[in-house]
Structure 1
Amino acid sequence: MQIVRYFMDPLSEVLSLLKLEAYISGGFPLTAGTGLEFRRHQGIKCYVVIDGNCWVAVTGSQEAIFLKSGDCVFLPSGAPFCLATAPDSLPQPFIPPDKETGSALTMQAPRDGAFILGGRFTFSSAHADILLHSLPPLIPVTEGIGQKVMRNAMECLREEMRVPQPGGDLIAQQLVQIMLVQALRVFLQQKGNEHVGWMFALSDPQLKAAITYMHQEPAFPWTLQELAKRVGMSRTVFTEHFKRKVGITPMKYLSQWRMLLAGERLRNSRDSITQISQSAGYNSDSAFGRAFKKEWGCSPREHRQQLLRAFTSHEQ
């Protein structure tokens, strides 16, 4: 019997590693001539224009982006921002409305205004920066840009929120996660060549292949020569191209990825240091310890003890 091994693609793997959690914060109307100002936030915020039109701008930015019914926007930087019916509307601080439960929501925009549905994403992992630092302050997803998947998800989300049903909260959370992944896909397709970072390198077929190899087999004794050979490039060209697109060398990226995985295993498993060392591609605990300390600032054993103390303190 043939055994087929299934591997996640790099983006799915990172999102899973970060332990992404989605929440629907509720819907609210935006009346004509008004704006709402939102404070600095953690994680990623998401807003869907269910009905009407509005503008969104990150505080301090000169550019406001127009959103119409069916459009959505993701805000991963945590920076303050405004939603308004016109670019020159004077914003007021946002006060969350009381959440309606157990009854149907109209979700219709006021005259010349908008009805907006909000959500947010949090990360229970300590490594959210590997994703968030790669992204711009604002990611709009508008008509014609990968909109089919988004439109289907938004229609389902609208129905789940309009008429609450058993299990509706869970379905809504999954739909918003689909929308986030689709937004990241669209952003890579549109802007992948304009930014530097591991995620943007996924828009390059050869670099995507190299990153996928490292993610799928972190314990393999990778060398520059082997990686370059796998993706059909010379070692010199591969190294230069990788560093230009990712911002660091291939071997530095491999080391960081291995240490990230090792940190998660120290946090979430009872595996010994030797087992974790071997899973990260090290035959020597001492060599693993040096690499780990360089990345984390402490030894693997100290890191595990810190996590244990933090967990014990939280439980008390």
Structure 2
Amino acid sequence: MSVQLTDPLEGILTLVGTTGHMSTGLVAGGEWALSFRPRPAVKFNAVRRGSCLLTVDGVPEPIELAEGDCFLLTRPLGFTLASGPGLPPIPAGPFFAAATDGVARVGTTEDVVFSGGRFDFGERAQELLLDALPPVIHVLGGTPEAATVRWALEQIDVELRDRPLASTLVTQHLALVMLIHLLRLSLTAGGPGMASGWLAGLTDPVVALALGAMHARPAHAWTVAQLAQVAAVSRSTLAARFKRTVGQAPLDYLTGWRIELAAACLRRGDETLSAIADKVGYGSESALSSAFKRVTGASPREYRRRVALADGGRGRQRP
């Protein structure tokens, strides 16, 4: 069965509304240790010069960061950056509040230089994407992914320094390029701590083909036999590998993805329930409503009303 496949990672990053933002840089020297409070956004930092020690709340071992390394925190966890072990940390907040020219400074020398920022996501990102990742993704400076991050940071520096037209938009897209390369590395490495789920499924060549087919044609009336044909394995092999890797049966995953797409349409508020039902593979409003309530606990109309209320009444409601 010949089917055009779609990249699930691209689709989900688009669905959860990923945006990247650069933050104040950090220059530190001498003996120092700074503690950072947990933030709801996904944080990333790159060591442009020098080396230091990263300690993350809940992660047993500290991580040694060398020049060229970068890391991504996928959970709202507190962390500490220090010149070495055993130093009592002090809050980083006052140093960043006193930053000048976009740089916070600790000490009088410039032994270590950081660039960093954050990634913001829509409301479904935690369950759809972040929970499938390890809490910390550490990228060594010698990897191709780290080289791409360095290139992107250099381009961002130029944009922030010279402020050409549309520089803010360019920096956001460059930050997104960095995120994608970090996620690729986590997938390639199997990501220590990688949980089961669709992201883990992308590391299995058989499961990845089935996922690609479902994401390419979510409205198609897929059967396990058809998906197995796409993946060039038997029905039983696909069912077993999919369940083991993703944590649920193929058609259960398809139902969940259809409901995610429907919910995204409802959040936008610009389509009728009938149009949404047709788009995500349900033949009628009632069929969509039944599946939507079974998965989310609310009917599509109830969900749309909740979104409108959460938006302060700005969302458009349909009868």
Identify whether the pair has TM-score above 0.5, normalized to the shorter chain.
yes
Match of residue 68 from structure 2: 70
Match of residue 154 from structure 1: 153
Report the more deviating stretch, 212-221 or 87-96: 87-96
- How far residue 109 of structure 1 moved from its aligned partner, in angstroms, is 9.4
1:109·1:115 contact (CA, 8 Å) conserved in 2?
Answer: no
- How far residue 43 of structure 1 moved from its aligned partner, in angstroms, is 2.5
SS in structure 2 at match of 1:229: helix
Deviation sequence 1:82-141 (CA, Å, 0-9, x none): 11111322211111244545x9x7999964731212200111344432111011111011
Match of residue 118 from structure 2: 120
Match of residue 294 from structure 1: 294
The change in CA–CA distance for 1:311 and 1:15 in structure 2 (over 3 A counts) is same
Q: 1: CA distance between counterparts of 2:301 and 2:208?
A: 33
2:28·2:109 contact (CA, 8 Å) conserved in 1?
Answer: no
Deviation sequence 1:252-295 (CA, Å, 0-9, x none): 11011000000011111422111111111111322221110112
The change in CA–CA distance for 1:107 and 1:79 in structure 2 (over 3 A counts) is closer
Report the more deviating stretch, 179-188 or 52-61: 52-61
Deviation sequence 1:170-198 (CA, Å, 0-9, x none): 33222221111101101111125963221
Report the more deviating stretch, 201-210 or 190-199: 190-199
Q: 2: CA distance between counterparts of 1:26 and 1:7?
A: 40
Q: 2: CA distance between counterparts of 1:36 and 1:314?
A: 41
Q: 2: CA distance between counterparts of 1:107 and 1:172?
A: 23
Number of aligned residue pairs: give it: 308
Match of residue 129 from structure 2: 131
Q: 1: CA distance between counterparts of 2:33 and 2:255?
A: 46
2:32·2:106 contact (CA, 8 Å) conserved in 1?
Answer: no
Identity of aligned residues (%): 33
Q: 1: CA distance between counterparts of 2:26 and 2:246?
A: 40
SS in structure 1 at match of 2:50: strand
Q: 1: CA distance between counterparts of 2:73 and 2:314?
A: 30
Q: 2: CA distance between counterparts of 1:214 and 1:24?
A: 35
SS in structure 1 at match of 2:171: helix
The amino acid across from 1:260 in the alignment is: E
The amino acid across from 1:154 in the alignment is: L
1:61 aligns with 2:59: yes
Match of residue 172 from structure 2: 173
Q: 1: CA distance between counterparts of 2:243 and 2:207?
A: 10
1:265·1:271 contact (CA, 8 Å) conserved in 2?
Answer: yes
The amino acid across from 2:27 in the alignment is: P
Match of residue 33 from structure 1: 31
Report the more deviating stretch, 15-24 or 268-277: 268-277
SS in structure 1 at match of 2:52: strand
2:27·2:110 contact (CA, 8 Å) conserved in 1?
Answer: no
Q: 2: CA distance between counterparts of 1:212 and 1:170?
A: 30
Q: Any gaps of 5 or more consecutive residues in structure 2? A: none
Q: 1: CA distance between counterparts of 2:132 and 2:272?
A: 33
The change in CA–CA distance for 1:310 and 1:151 in structure 2 (over 3 A counts) is closer
Match of residue 222 from structure 1: 222
Q: 1: CA distance between counterparts of 2:272 and 2:211?
A: 27
The change in CA–CA distance for 1:165 and 1:270 in structure 2 (over 3 A counts) is closer
Match of residue 243 from structure 2: 243
Give TM-score, length-normalised by structure 1. Answer: 0.89
Match of residue 143 from structure 1: 141
Q: Any gaps of 5 or more consecutive residues in structure 1? A: 1-5
The change in CA–CA distance for 1:42 and 1:234 in structure 2 (over 3 A counts) is same
1:277 aligns with 2:277: yes
Match of residue 187 from structure 1: 186
The amino acid across from 1:176 in the alignment is: A
The change in CA–CA distance for 1:192 and 1:59 in structure 2 (over 3 A counts) is closer
The change in CA–CA distance for 1:108 and 1:176 in structure 2 (over 3 A counts) is farther
Q: 1: CA distance between counterparts of 2:42 and 2:150?
A: 20
- How far residue 8 of structure 1 moved from its aligned partner, in angstroms, is 5.1
